[in-house]
Structure 1
Amino acid sequence: MNLKNLHSVFFLGIGGIGMSAIARWFNHIGVPVYGYDKTPSPLTETLSEEGMEIVYTDEVESLPEAFKASGADKLIVWTPAVPQSSNLYKFFGNNGFVIKKRAAVLGLITRNMESVAIAGTHGKTTTSSMVAHLLKHSGHNTAAFLGGLTQNYKNNLILHDEGSAESPVVVVEADEFDRSFLHLHPDLSIVTSIDPDHLDIYGDAEQLKEGFASFIRLTHPDGKLIIHQDAYQKISHADLGAAKVYQYSLNSGNIHADNIKVGTGTFSFDYVAEDIRIDGLELSVPGFHNIENALAAIAVAVNYGLSKEAIIEGIATYKGVKRRFEKICTNERIIYIDDYAHHPEEIKAFLLSIKAMYPDKKVTAVFQPHLFTRTRDFAEGFSESLSIADTVVLLDIYPARELPIEGITSEMLLPRITSPNKSVVDKEKLLSHLEQHKPEVLVTIGAGDIDRLVKPIEKWIKNDKA
C-alpha cells in the first residue's frame, strides 16, 4: 500500500497519543483525516482545530459520507483500545474496508527511513523525546513519532525537513502493548526496561521477555542496541542478535553517570562511556530515572556525531514531556507535580526522586490505578512503591479498555501500604480532602483520567486556598 496515494484515512481511537501522531502525519502530507473517539479531550479538540473531522458516537450514521462505502484508496487505522465489538469497527470489517493496526501503519511510514526505536515498559516516552530533541536541536534532520506531548515542541509529532540534502533519522517510540513494536525495523534500538507489564496481553513475565527479545532481533545486524543493565540481565545473550550491545545504568555499565548532584529544580551529572566523557551536564527535568534516560539519549547523540557542546546544550534546553515529572505550580506553602507513572517501578523511581529533592517536606501522593488487571497483577508492588510517600490518597481504578473484575478495587492496596496516612477518596471529593489536610508536596500519579484534575488542583492552589 502506497500511503501517499490515499484519498482519506479514518482513525478508530484518534484521541490516543500514538494514534494522534500518525493522524497528524497524514494531515501534514495532505491526506484528509477523519476519526472517532469515545469522548472529547484537549487533544481531540486540538486535532479538530488542525482540520481533522472527529465524531464521538459509535454509530454508522455518524460517519462522514466518504466512509459509508469502501474503496482501495481509503484506510482504517485501528487501535485495540477500541474493542472489536464497536459498531464502527464491525461496519468497516463487514464492508470490505482495509483495516490496519496503528503499529502496522507506523511501520509502513518509517520502513524506508533510518530509524531509532525506543522500547521499554517504562521510560520510553521521555527517552524518545530526549533523543528527538538532542538531534533536532543540533540541526540534525530528524522526525519523531512520540507517545507524549513534548514541552519543547508542544506536539507528539516532529517533522523532518523534506528539502534537506541530509537523509532524515526518524525517532520512534516502540510500544510493547499488543506486540506493536514488532512492526518496526530499527537501525539503532534502546531498551529502557523489561519489567512485567501488560500481562493481559502476554500472559506472564517470560512471554513479555520473549516479546522484547523478538523486538531486539529486529535491530539491523550492523546497528547498535543500547540497553539498560537490568533489562540486559533478563534477556538471553542468544536473543541479542548481531547488533553491537552497550549497557547503561546510573552507576555502572559501558555507559553510566558520575558526579550526580541533586537540586530542587535540576539534577547535574557527567556522562561516562568507554570512548568519551562529557562533564557538566544539567538536566532541568529532575529524577534519577531521568538521568538514566538521558544517558541512553546521549549515547544516540554520540552515535550521530553530535559535539560535546551540542549535547550539553541539548540536555540543558530539554523541557520534558507533558505529565512526566511536570511541575505544575509552587508557592511558599505547597509544591505540586504531576506524573504519568502507572507501574510500581515507575512510581518507585518517581517518589524516590521527589523525596531526594524535598527531604525536609512531607509528600502526599494521589494515585489513580490504571486497569483492573494491572492492579490485580501488581497489587503488592503498588502498595510497596506508594509507601515511600508520607500520605497516600487512592482514587478508584480507571478501567480504560476493561470491564470490572470482582474483588479488584483500590481498597485492596490499603492494607500493605505502610505510610502513616492512607485513604481512598472519590474524585469529586479530592479538592475538599486536600484543603482539609494541607499537603506540603503534592503529587498526582496515574495514566487514566486523573489528568482532568490537574487544572482544578492548580486553580485551587493559585486561589491561595492551599
Structure 2
Amino acid sequence: MNLNQINNVYFIGIGGIGMSNLARYFKNLGKRVVGYDKTPSALTDELIASGISIHFEDAIDLIPNDFYVENTLVVVTPAVPITHSEWNYFTERNFEIKKRSEVLGLITKDTFCFAVAGTHGKTTTSGILGHIMYESGADVTAFIGGIVENYNSNLIGSGKTITVVEADEFDRSFLHLHPNIACITSMDADHLDIYGTSEAIEESFVEFANKIEDKSHLFITNELPIEGVICSVNEEAIYKAFNVRVGNGSYIFDVQTPTEVIKDLHFGLPGRHNLMNALMAIAMANLFGTPTVEIAKAIASFKGIKRRFSYQIKTESKVYIDDYAHHPTEINAVYQAVRELYPGQKVLAVFQPHLFSRTKDFADDFAKSLSAFDEVILLDIYPARELPMEGINSKWLMDKMTNNSKKLITKSDLVSSILASDASIIVTIGAGDIGELVPTIKKAINETL
C-alpha cells in the first residue's frame, strides 16, 4: 500500500492517544482527515480546532459521500467492537482498513526509524528522543503516547525522513515496525490478558529485538536477556550515567559514551527511572550522530509528559502530583521519586486500578507497592475494555494491603476525602479516568491554601 496515493484518512476511535497523533500526522501531510469517537475529550477538541471533522455518533450517514474506496485509508483502534456499524460499512465495501500499528509500520518502512520499546518508560524516552531530534534540527516526526509538555501535543515535528515511535508490546503491535535504531527499557510482565504468560511477553520482545540486525543499534538495560548495547546508571556499561547529583530541583550527571564523557548534563524529571529513560534517548541520539552540545541543550529543556509525575501544585505547605502509573513497577518508581524529593513528609496516594485482569494478575505486587505510602485512598477498578471478573474488585485488593491507613471510596467522595487528609504530599495514580478528575482536585486543594 502506498500512502502517497491516499487522499482521505478515516479514523474509527480518533480520540485515543495513539490514534490522535496519527490523525495530526496525516493532517500535516495535507490529507483530508475525518473521524469518529464515542465521547468528546480534550484531544478531540484540539483535533477539531486544527480543522479535523469529528462526530460522536456511530452513524453511516456521517461518513463523507466522496470517500471512495481507492483513495481512502480507514484506521481502526482495537478498542472498537466488531459490531460497530461504520466499521462494518467500510469492511463490506472492501475499503483498505488498517490497525494503527499497521499504519505506523507503513510509515516507518519509508523513513529512518527510532523505535522505543519496553513495558515501562516508552512514552518518556520517546518524548525525550523526539525533543532532542527536533531541537537539533532533524527532519523528524515523533509519535508519542502522551502529551509532551514542551509542545502540548503527542506529535513532535512534521518531518518526512526520520520517525521516532513508541514500539508498543500490546497486541504485539511493535512487530509491524521497521526500526533502524531501537531500545528496550524493560520487559516486566504486563498485558497477561493478551499474552497469557510472562514467557510469551519475553518471546515477543526477543522477536522485536531480532528486527534489528546490527545489535550495536539496539540499546538495552543490563538485566535484559537480549544481545545489545548496555546502558546503565552508576554501573559499568557502554553508555553509563554517573556522578549523579541533585541541584536546584534537577538531576546533574555525567555520561560516558564509547568516545567521550559528556559532563554536567541537567535534567529536570524526578526519579531514578527517568535517568535511565534520558540515558537511553541520549545513547540513541549519540549513535545517530547528533552533536553533544545539542543533546545537552535538549535534555536540559525537556519539561516532561503530562500525567507522568506531573506537578499540579508545588508550594511550601502542599504538593500535588499526578501520574499515569498503572503497574506495580511504575508505582514503585513514583514512590521512590517522592521519597527522594520529600524525605520525612506524609504522602497520600490515590489509586484507581486499571483493568480487572491486571489487578488480578498483579494483586500482591500492587498491595505491596501501595502499602509503602503513608495513606492510601482506593477507587473502584476502571474496566476500560473489560467486563467485571467475579471476586476481583478494589475491596479485595485493599484487604491484601498492610497499610494502617487505607480506605475505598466512590469518585463523588474523592475531593472531600483528599481535603480531610493532613498529608503534605498528594499523588493521584492510575491510567483510567482519574486523569479527568485532576483539575477538580487541583482547584479544591488550591482553595484551601
Q: State the TM-score, normalized to the length of structure 2.
A: 0.95
1:124 pairs, out of 122, 125, 140, with 122
**Which amino acid letter does the alignment assign opposite residue 445 of structure 2?**
I
Which residue does the alignment assign to 2:415? Answer: 431
What's the CA shift for 1:94? 2.6
1:169 pairs, out of 154, 157, 162, with 162
Q: Distance in 1 between matches of 2:376 and 2:266?
A: 31
Which residue does the alignment assign to 1:204? Answer: 197
What's the CA shift for 1:304? 2.3
SS of 2:233's equivalent in the other structure is coil
What's the CA shift for 1:72? 1.7
Which residue does the alignment assign to 1:446? Answer: 430
Matched, 1:250 2:230: no
Matched, 1:48 2:48: yes
Q: Distance in 1 between matches of 2:238 and 2:437?
A: 42
Matched, 1:28 2:11: no
Unaligned runs of 5+ in 1: 163-167
Q: Distance in 1 between matches of 2:357 and 2:83?
A: 20
Q: Distance in 2 between matches of 1:456 and 1:442?
A: 14
What's the CA shift for 1:296? 0.5
**Which amino acid letter does the alignment assign opposite residue 169 of structure 1?**
I
Q: Distance in 1 between matches of 2:290 and 2:98?
A: 37
Which residue does the alignment assign to 2:210? Answer: 217
Q: Which shifted more, 176-185 or 245-254? A: 245-254
Q: Distance in 2 between matches of 1:32 and 1:160?
A: 16
Q: Distance in 1 between matches of 2:87 and 2:359?
A: 28
Moved over 4 A (4+): none
Which residue does the alignment assign to 1:178? Answer: 171
Q: Distance in 2 between matches of 1:263 and 1:338?
A: 23
SS of 2:75's equivalent in the other structure is strand
Cα deviation digits, residues 68-91 of structure 1 (max 9, x gap) = xx5121121011121223232233
Matched, 1:363 2:347: yes
What's the CA shift for 1:140? 2.6
Q: Distance in 2 between matches of 1:292 and 1:38?
A: 37
Is the 2:122–2:185 contact (alpha carbons within 8 Å) kept by the matching residues of 1? Answer: yes
Which residue does the alignment assign to 1:292? Answer: 276
2:315 pairs, out of 331, 337, 343, with 331
What's the CA shift for 1:62? 4.0
Is the 2:6–2:72 contact (alpha carbons within 8 Å) kept by the matching residues of 1? Answer: yes
Q: Distance in 1 between matches of 2:293 and 2:6?
A: 43
Unaligned runs of 5+ in 2: none
Q: Distance in 2 between matches of 1:426 and 1:265?
A: 35
Cα deviation digits, residues 407-432 of structure 1 (max 9, x gap) = 11111211232233111111111101
2:131 pairs, out of 127, 130, 133, with 133
Q: Distance in 1 between matches of 2:257 and 2:363?
A: 38
Q: Which shifted more, 85-94 or 376-385? A: 85-94
1:372 pairs, out of 351, 356, 373, with 356
What's the CA shift for 1:223? 5.6
**Which amino acid letter does the alignment assign opposite residue 130 of structure 2?**
A
Which residue does the alignment assign to 1:159? Answer: 157
Q: Distance in 1 between matches of 2:249 and 2:380?
A: 31
Matched, 1:390 2:374: yes
**Which amino acid letter does the alignment assign opposite residue 142 of structure 1?**
V
1:77 pairs, out of 75, 78, 99, with 75
Cα deviation digits, residues 383-415 of structure 1 (max 9, x gap) = 111122111111111111111111111112112
Is the 1:55–1:63 contact (alpha carbons within 8 Å) kept by the matching residues of 2? Answer: no
Q: Which shifted more, 9-18 or 214-223? A: 214-223
SS of 1:65's equivalent in the other structure is coil
Q: Distance in 2 between matches of 1:273 and 1:158?
A: 26
Is the 2:351–2:429 contact (alpha carbons within 8 Å) kept by the matching residues of 1? Answer: yes
Is the 2:134–2:157 contact (alpha carbons within 8 Å) kept by the matching residues of 1? Answer: no
Aligned length: 448
**Which amino acid letter does the alignment assign opposite residue 63 of structure 2?**
L
What's the CA shift for 1:222? 7.2
Matched, 1:193 2:186: yes
What's the CA shift for 1:333? 2.1
Q: Distance in 2 between matches of 1:343 and 1:126?
A: 16
Q: Distance in 1 between matches of 2:415 and 2:214?
A: 54
Q: Distance in 2 between matches of 1:420 and 1:407?
A: 23
Q: Distance in 2 between matches of 1:210 and 1:396?
A: 33
What's the CA shift for 1:218? 0.9
Q: Which shifted more, 247-256 or 432-441? A: 247-256
Matched, 1:265 2:271: no
Which residue does the alignment assign to 2:334? Answer: 350
SS of 2:253's equivalent in the other structure is strand
- Give the CA RMSD over aligned residues: 1.7
What's the CA shift for 1:211? 0.8
Which residue does the alignment assign to 1:2? Answer: 2
Q: Distance in 2 between matches of 1:251 and 1:217?
A: 28
1:3–1:352 Cα change, 3 Å: same
SS of 1:30's equivalent in the other structure is coil
Q: Distance in 1 between matches of 2:214 and 2:295?
A: 27
Q: Distance in 2 between matches of 1:254 and 1:417?
A: 40
Is the 1:267–1:287 contact (alpha carbons within 8 Å) kept by the matching residues of 2? Answer: no
Q: Distance in 2 between matches of 1:328 and 1:71?
A: 47
Matched, 1:303 2:296: no
Is the 2:25–2:158 contact (alpha carbons within 8 Å) kept by the matching residues of 1? Answer: no
What's the CA shift for 1:436? 1.3
Q: Distance in 1 between matches of 2:118 and 2:103?
A: 20
**Percent of aligned pairs with the same amino acid:** 47
SS of 1:72's equivalent in the other structure is helix
